[in-house]
Amino acid sequence: MEKTALYSISSGVFLLGTRSGDGSKINGCITNTCFQTASNPTRLAVSVIKQNLTCRMIQESGVFALSVLDDSCSFGTISRFGYQSGRDADKFSGAEYALGANGCPFLLSETCAVLECRVLNEINLESHVLFVAEVCDAVTTGKNAPLTYARYQAEVKPKREGKAEGEKTIVGWRCRICGYEFKKPELPPGFECPICSHTAEDFEPIYG
């Protein structure tokens, strides 16, 4: 099976914002796996890496807000929400956001739409959880085109940095998307993260 053939499935890029059950904490992550699954009534499906804090918080609160990122979105926004864990950082600190009627955070800029959702079903898919949700509210927030994942890869994401210079010894590689650690000094050719399928470009060195 050519796993790379699945890269041809087009998608957008979204900030999936949620909250804890009691509303005392908010968090979010970047996802490109979201679609409208039914129109009458309006239903949406979104898939989240199971070990992301966002996944656990959606399971707890049963609600989320989807910010549909537009083509003005900067890499800073993607890296703020997609390249660090809510376990280590308050991702929304310093971001321009608001809370929706369901208490979930959404961005006030770099979006073309915001959808507020309530989970109806969840399906356990081992590496991911698939949530099927009711769309409770939907608002157009801007006129820019939606950011596509293809454009993100080609134009927004910086090219991979060269290997570290100097004296440091690389003992492993960490996936910047999901945190998976590969504990050998060199990634094999064509390596893909076993958790989130991202390639070597999304790994950063771990120094010994």
Is residue 68 close enough to count as binding a copy of itself by CB under 8 A?
yes
Please give the torsion angle defined by the CA atoms of residues 140, 141, 142 and 144, in that order, rounded to the nearest 10 degrees.
-70
The number of beta carbons lying within 10 Å of the beta carbon of residue 199 is 15
Residue with tokens 């864990």: 85
Cα distances (angstroms) measured from residue 38 to each of 33, 93, 133, 171: 16, 35, 10, 47
User: Minimum distance from CB of 148 to a copy of itself (Å)?
Assistant: 5
Q: Which of 17, 28, 100, 146 binds a copy of itself (CB under 8 A)?
A: 146
The number of beta carbons lying within 10 Å of the beta carbon of residue 75 is 14
Residue 5-44 contact track with a copy of itself, rule CB under 8 A, x = bound? xx-xxxxx--------------------xxxxxxxxxxxx
Is residue 148 close enough to count as binding a copy of itself by CB under 8 A?
yes
Nearest to 141 by CA among 106, 174, 166: 106
Is residue 154 close enough to count as binding a copy of itself by CB under 8 A?
no
Complex with a copy of itself: residue 39 or 93, whichever CB lies closer: 39
By CB under 8 A, name the binding residues for a copy of itself.
Answer: 1-6, 8-12, 33-45, 47, 68, 112-115, 121, 123, 125-128, 130, 132, 135-140, 145-150, 192-197
